[in-house]
Structure 1
Amino acid sequence: MNRKLLIIGFVWPEPNSSAAGSRMMQLISCFQSKNYKITFASACAKTDHAFDLTSLGIDQVHIALNHSSFDAFLQEFQPDVVLFDRFMIEEQFGWRVAKVCPKALRILDTEDLHCLRKGREQAFKDEQTFDNSYLFNDVAKREIASIYRCDLSLIISEAEYELLTQVFKISPSILHYLPFLLDSVSDSTIKQLPNFENRKHFITIGNFLHPPNFQSIQYLKQHIWTLIKKQLPQAELHVYGAYASQKVLQLNNKQKGFLVKGYAENVSEIMQQSKVCLAPLQFGAGLKGKLIDAMQNGTPCVMSSIAAEGMFGNLQANGFIADDIQDFVNSAVALYTNEAIWNDTHKNGFNVINTRFQVSDFQAEFMQLVFDVKSILKTHRQENFIGQMLQHHTLQSTKFMSKWIEEKNKD
């Protein structure tokens, strides 16, 4: 009999809209490699960009927040493993899973550390240097508690793994480093990609609902693009991303070559047409999907240190890392105009993908860990006393608040 996995999604996966969507599809593939019967459940409304999970044989279930119908659903499904998509979902549904299916392995996919992103965003708004006073915010208290309550938390970035173990002092026994899981880029694929001469213009891309991406677009327009355009008057910047609101669309300026294109149906195609990718993120966390897309398609990047965090390890970046505005501009112009520099950094990206993010290097180890922890679950939980304590106390308030909301909604 196949083991059963329940994924509770913050949203329905949209791999063409966000790195989070791609990440979720990679996790699904891991469990399918071990023949898990998978059900994906979410309380979120489904958009036109959502992936059709039924095409992969995955059941899709819409669930209600703060409603005991979810308990009945759990009772019937009886999953062996439950995967929470971000800590907010664990807060909402974790106590119900613990109550109805106490023997189910509870896994949290953090996506990125929300407390790190929020802290950096606040420091940016305050025009202050980010430090632990910004890191130890209210989101951190919630997110770290969620990590402790789960049996295993998946961490996408080495930098964030180090932060959790060294700063928050969380035991590695409940953490697992699992980056993007990618196929290698073959020599034959590389040879087929457009070369320096057959590409033109700059590109930036990112889901506009994600605050770091929108701020990055504003930063590009206000501080960077004018300086690049002055040196490269024929160049254009093509801005792609899902969910372009009116405030995004109004940034479009055809005269200045700042073109808001909106949703990208085929990211690989537009990346291959572009000569240089720009990613001047001023805050954020996790690994950046836009950099992965650029490397897979041979498009060199100019990026901030925050954008590059956790991506390259000891390897050479597929471009330049620059936080100073003039350094960023100079790097962008150099990549755009110097074929030798472009070719070198173009090759670096393939090396990063093939060295650091191979699915074959991580998938089997991860699935073995799931099996191992599940087989010693009682002992594993006993060794995580803080998690037991938080499960007992903290979620009592969440549980009774949820029950109060459910009763209130009956009125």
Structure 2
Amino acid sequence: MENQILLNDIVNAIENGELQAYYQPQYNAKKGVVGGAEALVRWIKSDGTIVLPKDFIPILEENGQLSVVDWFIAEEACKTIKLLKSRAVRISVNFGREHAHDSQFIEKLDKLVETYGIDKSLLGVEITESDVATDKQDVIEWVNKIVAAGYAVSIDDFGSGMSSLSFVKDVPATILKIDRSFLADNCQTERGKMTLESVFYFAHRLHLLTVVEGVETESQLQFINTCDCDYIQGFIFSKPLEKSDFIRMCIEEAPVEIGTMEPFEEGAVFEQVKILIDSVYKKFQLIKFANISKNSYTFMRYEDFMNTTIPETGSYDDCLRRIVDATVPESQKDILNAFNRKSLLEAYKNGERRVMRIVYQRDENNELHKVAIEDYFMESERNNDVYVVSFIQNLDFEDGTYV
């Protein structure tokens, strides 16, 4: 009976305007401008009493009655997006796992965005790890349908549970919201920094946008930015705002100034590695990994005049043949003799660290290019195969520049 009374109270609160949507901005971590928001529910009674979400959301969720609140907040978000017009940003709404069993969920979302005439890319859906842990397969299928329908899906509170990696691996989300628990040490300990850097590396490899929740200090902000974070959500920029204040912020507020951390002085390994890789990419237009014992290769970097003639992966022998074909006739024999697998294995056996040649090659337009080809030998702890990392650099500049 108590639970039913609460549900009736919630419905009455909606009708009386006591239930409200608040918006916590998500700031673009590079530009300092609002790039999104999370819609949150607030229950403010007519006498001014505030009922905290933790005092009514769990009860509604336990009884499968939270959808009333979810859809109310979703509609409020659509109204706000419409009011923002050209200044609209994506607003994400929390939807509990009970919606995974609603066969008309996508239809309801579509009807909302059509009613308010907004772009569906501006209305996001947030789910939590606990949703998947409880009803994994149904939720995964549900998320697949949401993404296929054109809506962005955020994984909320990443890192707050024990199966987070598996959760992200299986759910086709587009945004990863990193839980505030990763900031508990204020980004001051080496262990904490390394853990957070690993989370960002994981997210980037999966091509996920990142949002960090609960950012409150300058130290946290500066370190997070060395990890190439996309959006910041936290009190350092803004607490959750009522609709009028949020709209005013999106329309009128100037970009905030974001301080930067010196990556080479603060132990920001992620940023240091990123700068290193960027510099290597600038120097070498083509980088190739090859297992010459197994006759295979794959490209890591692939911006060269030969990139239209060589597949990104395949057999090493075939790749070498294509490189030889692009080389001027007088150098073809030298390239073939130096870089065939038998010669490379012999050079490795003799203790050489690299094999290098500078030759001329022609592109598909028959234009001549001076090119340096360098193969460095690498070993693996897992097997006895011989690996090489190939760096191919275009030397089309004045003589004497490259020494």
- Larger RCO of the pair (alpha carbons < 8 Å, separation 6+): 1
Provide TM-score, normalisation by structure 2. 0.28
Larger CA Rg, structure 1 vs 2: 2
Which structure dedicates a bigger proportion of its chain to helix?
1
Provide TM-score, normalisation by structure 1. 0.27
